[in-house]
Structure 1
Amino acid sequence: MNKDNISPKRGRPAKSGRDSSQTKQALVQSGVEYFTEFGFASSGIDQILKRVSVPKGSFYHYFANKEAFGNAVISEYSRYFAKKLDFHLLNKNNTALTRIENFANDAKQGMARYDFKRGCLIGNLEQEVTLLPESHRLQLLSTFEDWQMKVTQCLELAQQEKTISASLDCTALASFFWMGWEGAIAKSKLTKNLTPIDTFIDLFLQLIAK
């Protein structure tokens, strides 16, 4: 799959119990899982196809090339993670800072569940951005902007609740949060424990709390 500039022959849809849309979605989900663990630039598609029993020739029935597949994978992960953020950050049963803490706890459980091998797809791809197509870079940037907006709104709520100072720049704080968060996720993958995430979240909340 490294010869992405060569126009491949179009294969037939894979024969399985799934219809075309289900097979395409299965490929995207397989891509999310594989790229989160192994990265994008150096990965081929063979293992992704094997996971969902799709012949290699059929891949091009669903995606024009690896770049288009990567765009679909990033979009899928972005939607998934946005729902996770909304679940926690829009939960009216909790204070704003508790919502952030609950999001972190949820993410920690996911890290441990996969033995610290996966982490965050968007953060992983950010680290190899110089090797990615421009369309991927723009998608990653848009995703981070969306996540930053969600945390900004949560921090603004914390100001309304008077749990953080009204003088704080919530947009800048949200940007700082994601820079620190992705670093903590990467360090947790390296150390294979949750201490980096705990350290970051504890210090972040301590620094902004009144």
Structure 2
Amino acid sequence: MSIPKTHETSDVRQEILNVGQRIMAAKGYSAVGLNEILATAGVPKGSFYHYFSSKDAFGEALLEDYFSTYLADLDQVLALPRLNMAQRLTKYWAIWEDTQSFEDCQGKCLAVKLGVEVADLSEAMRAVLKRGTSGIIDRLARAIQTGVEEGSLKVCDEPHAVAQSLYQLWVGASVMVKISKSMQPFATAMSTTRQALSLA
């Protein structure tokens, strides 16, 4: 039985995005050419423009795909059964440590890797970054509010402000981990997070 063309098209487009995400997470946006991505994905160069009008359009789609997956994964962690919200949030930051380090992150640290670089290159990509990070912060804020209501954590400020501060703390820690080639910034971030949320 033949594969429907729409399914085939979707698979090829997704493979280009997946390969691009892995390569750009390792090398950055500007340092990676389309030829490298397409050769790795096994897609002819001429086919690229069937899916994306330009490299910037590809970058925009890449970030949208990244955040779609990231937010879905975050929703799963924040809904883990048999855990209170403090435990779910602790699990989220433990996953962050595992996936955002200076080792090969397999594309899972894309926002940290590309954030500063592409925000100045493309307004469209900056807008995707802003929407994506706002989505993360909003989810963390709702989780913190739930944790306060259930009594598993305490905060001294409005939940959204705490969520924003903690997200910025962990993004900064991710950058410092890459600079220092050490996991110590994550240990410091976790200690500060525990204090901010009154975690045991």
Q: TM-score, normalised by structure 2?
A: 0.86
Q: 1:109 aligns with which of 87, 98, 117?
A: 98
Q: 1:100 aligns with which of 69, 76, 89?
A: 89
Residue 147 of structure 2 aligns with which residue?
158
Matched, 1:28 2:40: no
Residue 38 of structure 1 aligns with which residue?
27
Residue 165 of structure 2 aligns with which residue?
176
Give the residue type in structure 2 aligned to 1:124.
K
- Cα–Cα, structure 1 residues 126 and 110, in superposed 2: closer, same or farther, change >3 Å? closer
Shift in Å, 1:98 = 1.3
Q: SS where residue 19 of structure 1 aligns?
A: helix
Give the residue type in structure 2 aligned to 1:24.
R
Q: 1:82 aligns with which of 58, 61, 71?
A: 71
Q: Distance in 2 between matches of 1:23 and 1:67?
A: 18
Give the residue type in structure 2 aligned to 1:20.
T
Segments of structure 2 that go 5 or more residues without pairing to the other structure are 1-6
Per mean C-alpha deviation after superposition, the further-off stretch among 151-160 and 101-110 is 101-110
Q: In the comparison of the two structures, how many residue pairs are matched? A: 193
Residue 14 of structure 1 aligns with which residue?
none
Greater than 3 Å deviation, 4+ residue runs: 111-119, 163-167
Q: Distance in 2 between matches of 1:193 and 1:78?
A: 26
Give the residue type in structure 1 aligned to 2:139.
K
**Alpha carbons 1:24, 1:62 under 8 Å: kept:** yes
Per mean C-alpha deviation after superposition, the further-off stretch among 38-47 and 172-181 is 38-47
- Cα–Cα, structure 1 residues 113 and 168, in superposed 2: closer, same or farther, change >3 Å? closer
Q: After superposition, give the CA deviation of every residue in 1:26-84 in whole Å (9 maximum; x if it has no partner).
A: 00111111221222134211211111111222211221111111111001100111122
Q: Distance in 2 between matches of 1:124 and 1:60?
A: 25
Shift in Å, 1:150 = 0.5
Shift in Å, 1:110 = 2.6
Q: After superposition, give the CA deviation of every residue in 1:142-190 in whole Å (9 maximum; x if it has no partner).
A: 0111000100011001111223336521010111011111111111222
Per mean C-alpha deviation after superposition, the further-off stretch among 87-96 and 144-153 is 87-96
**Alpha carbons 2:154, 2:198 under 8 Å: kept:** yes
Q: Distance in 1 between matches of 2:53 and 2:93?
A: 37
Q: Distance in 1 between matches of 2:138 and 2:51?
A: 33
Residue 191 of structure 1 aligns with which residue?
180
> Over aligned residue pairs, what C-alpha RMSD do you find?
2.2
Give the residue type in structure 2 aligned to 1:146.
G
Per mean C-alpha deviation after superposition, the further-off stretch among 18-27 and 99-108 is 18-27
Q: Distance in 2 between matches of 1:151 and 1:169?
A: 12
Shift in Å, 1:120 = 2.0
Per mean C-alpha deviation after superposition, the further-off stretch among 64-73 and 116-125 is 116-125
Q: Distance in 2 between matches of 1:37 and 1:80?
A: 18
- Cα–Cα, structure 1 residues 23 and 75, in superposed 2: closer, same or farther, change >3 Å? same
Q: Distance in 2 between matches of 1:87 and 1:116?
A: 20
Residue 15 of structure 1 aligns with which residue?
none
**Alpha carbons 1:74, 1:140 under 8 Å: kept:** yes
